[in-house]
Amino acid sequence: MSLKFVTCIIFPSTPPPTQARNINYMQAIYVQFHFHRTNISSPDMAASPYCKNSYVHAFLHATLTLLLLVMPLAAASLAFNYQQLGDAGNATLSISGDVYHEQEVLQLTRYETFSYGRVIYHKQLHLWDKNSGKVADFTTHFSFTINARNNTNYADGMTFFLAHPSFPELDPRDGVGIGLLSRTQLLNPNFTKEYPFVAVEFDTYVNPEWDPKYHHVGIQVNSFVTSVSDTTQWFTSMDQRGYDADISYDSASNRLSVSFTGYKDNVKIKQNLSSVVNLKDKLPDWVEFGVTAATGMYYEEHTLSSWSFNSSFVFDKHKGGSKKGLAVGMGIGGFVLIGGTGLISLGLWKKWKKVDEEENHIVEEYMGEDFERGAGPRKYSYAELAHAANGFKDEHKLGQGGFGGVYKGYLKDIKSHVAIKKVSEGSDQGIKEFASEVIIISRLRHRNLVNLIGWCHERKKLLLVYEYMSNGSLDIHLFKKQSILQWAVRYNIARGLASALLYLHEEWEQCVVHRDIKPSNIMLDSEFNAKLGDFGLARFVDHAKSAQTTALAGTMGYMAPECTLGYRPASKESDVYSFGVVALEIACGRKPINHRAQENEISIVQWVWGLYGEGRILEAADQRLEGEFEEEQIKCLMIVGLWCAHPDHNNRPSMRQAIQVLNFEAPLPNLPSSLPVPTYLEGPLHSYIAPFSITASEEGQSQIISFSSNTNSIGFTTKSDDASPSVSLLYSR
């Protein structure tokens, strides 16, 4: 005898993606399941760990079917989390105005007058229900920078907004409405009546007509005329230091709350603002939402570094239904539910226990032998590390990446500060990647590599303990601090990095391909010695075999062209290319890709190579050094950088050859006067470097990286576990 259930709920074998979800339980697609003893006809259901026991499955679906018939409820939820917005593509974020991708961030405006940008999530938010009148709660977090580049006059700021779903673009361009609407639109009462909005403004320009006489954060409803009760002074730094903003709405109290970073007397502080706003009275039931920025007569840089959003609520689908029927149905459903709860719990407990046992087996298989003998990093308990980091409180947090948070701690057994990487359960870094990172870095011993002190795997919690680097990462000192890194220190950093790569490629028992060499992964100790970190993408390769890996990985701008175009997998030569780009960054003080530059200067490799061919390579030196450098050294570093970043992997040096030139033990190479183009490319090389985009799918399963130009277009897919968070989060505060 077979049992047959028809329901509209399916339990997948993998957790649901963090994407926009609108689930109406009564209107969802019906899926039919048949049971005969332990046979399940649906292959998806049979594969699910929730459905290994047919009796558990039968109880569960019987209960759900009863409850769904008598409980006409609907649920709406929307959630996403982009820790690196350079990886968030046009499939999920709609951008307009002057927004453009730059490395791992979004530049919202250009550094010029009357520029604006708008970033909107591609799905609308169901803000409130017309039948029940219930309003959704939501929270959003974003990190950003506003940089005036040392100018005394600048404008205008940024906003987070919710608005009518067909909200028009800015017309004409000005900075009055901070990229949301223009002065003309703002002063038109018919416009704001037809297109209502609620915005949180981060205002860096004082408009005498309606602003207080200071930078401020305000909550605005269909207007930018600042109310004293809905605004507060914002203590800003206007340099490259970052800000964080958390905005939440509590529908029970109608309170919109804002918590944000400030810098008072050059000290980072936390500021707050809240106001009562009945969003149901101010906005339609469906809204679009996003972030805007603008410049006016004066200008500044607006950079969006990360953005997350979460909203969920349940409301009555058919208000005023039969109370008697509901009571009877609830009684029957409750009886069945109670009877099946024990059985369901037992099945889930067995499943989770099995998962834990499998993970423990993986850990023991990867790390057990060496670590049981006492070799390598120490295994800590979760309680020990939680105590060391004072319970992982926010004040001890060094940073946040796609893998989770990083916290500063103090371990009494070694009497030293440490950086504790706490991998979140939803991270792309699974147990195998975790074990791989531990086993690789624990076997390496070199003065220019970050030292792994310990690790923890306990009750599905994954933690790594690294030595703490007081001077943070190289990118902070090159691009985010006002103090200039002196030339002697820079040259020593370049040689230290080269030494680390020589060790990985040739001097250890196996070749290690790092695959993600960039300034944010180069740490600086108390004496500014370079230490290469983040081995989450690194792979062992036998010296006797071709030193290549099979999977695409790395960071755009630092990846060799043969890798980005799918022509050749990662190798020692692609590591050498990345080193060359970093060497040029150290000497020139600019990032690999600069979309604000002229066409032939967008790529740092193309720009410096052009100056080299004209005999003017010293003009590429970082102007902030004001000529305070050894000409032979900086010329040497830039030429070695070009040599290593040669577009053809066959013409790149080994790290040993590069070090010999950097130590002036070998002559400078003679390079072509113009940037070579490998035979597998068509057209100028910058066409394949600059105009790229990266799309992170909503399911978090893959990244589509596409390149386009007038002559060619190439696309490829890589698994999300190849996306590497920056190791700088481990150390910089």
DSSP 3-state of 731: coil
> Which phi and psi (to 5°) does residue 344 adopt?
-65, -45
DSSP 3-state of 314: strand
Give burial (CB, 10 Å; 0-12/13-18/19+) of 497. buried
664: Cβ contacts below 8 Å, ≥ 6 apart: 632, 636
364: Cβ contacts below 8 Å, ≥ 6 apart: none
- How many angstroms separate the CA atoms of 59 and 79, rounded? 30
For tokens 């062209």, what's the residue? 561
Helices (H) and strands (E) in the chain, counts: 17, 33
Q: How many CB atoms lie within 10 A of CB 604?
A: 26
Q: How many CA atoms are closer than 13 Å to the CA of 222, on its beta-carbon side?
A: 15
DSSP 3-state of 153: coil
Q: Which tokens is 569 given?
A: 């997998």
- How many angstroms separate the CA atoms of 105 and 87, rounded? 8
Residue type, 315: F
Strands 301-316, 105-107: pairing kind: antiparallel
Q: How many CB atoms lie within 10 A of CB 626?
A: 9
Contact 577, 583 (CB under 8 A): no
Q: Which tokens is 692 given?
A: 């790229």
Q: Which tokens is 65 given?
A: 């079917």
Contact 26, 316 (CB under 8 A): no
Active site residue 542: no
Contact 20, 80 (CB under 8 A): yes
- How many angstroms separate the CA atoms of 401 and 555, rounded? 15
Residue type, 429: Q
Q: Is 422 annotated as a binding residue?
A: yes
Q: What is the dihedral of CA 284, 288, 291, 294, to 10 degrees?
A: -80
CB contact burial 662-701 (16+ within 10 A = b; e otherwise): beeeeeeeebeeebeebeebeebbbbbbbbbbbbbbbebe
- How many angstroms separate the CA atoms of 598 and 603, rounded? 10
- How many angstroms separate the CA atoms of 137 and 280, rounded? 12
- How many angstroms separate the CA atoms of 389 and 610, rounded? 50
Of 230, 516, 525, 721, which is the active-site residue?
A: 516
347: Cβ contacts below 8 Å, ≥ 6 apart: 50, 52, 53, 56
Whether residue 669 has a cis bond before it, omega within 30° of 0: no
- How many angstroms separate the CA atoms of 312 and 310, rounded? 7
- Alpha-carbon separation of residue 375 from 68, 77, 414 (angstroms): 57, 48, 16
Residue type, 37: R
Contact 435, 536 (CB under 8 A): no
Give burial (CB, 10 Å; 0-12/13-18/19+) of 450. buried
- How many angstroms separate the CA atoms of 123 and 128, rounded? 15
Residue list for the binding site: 422
Give the residue numbers marked as catalytic: 516
Residue list for the binding site for ATP: 422
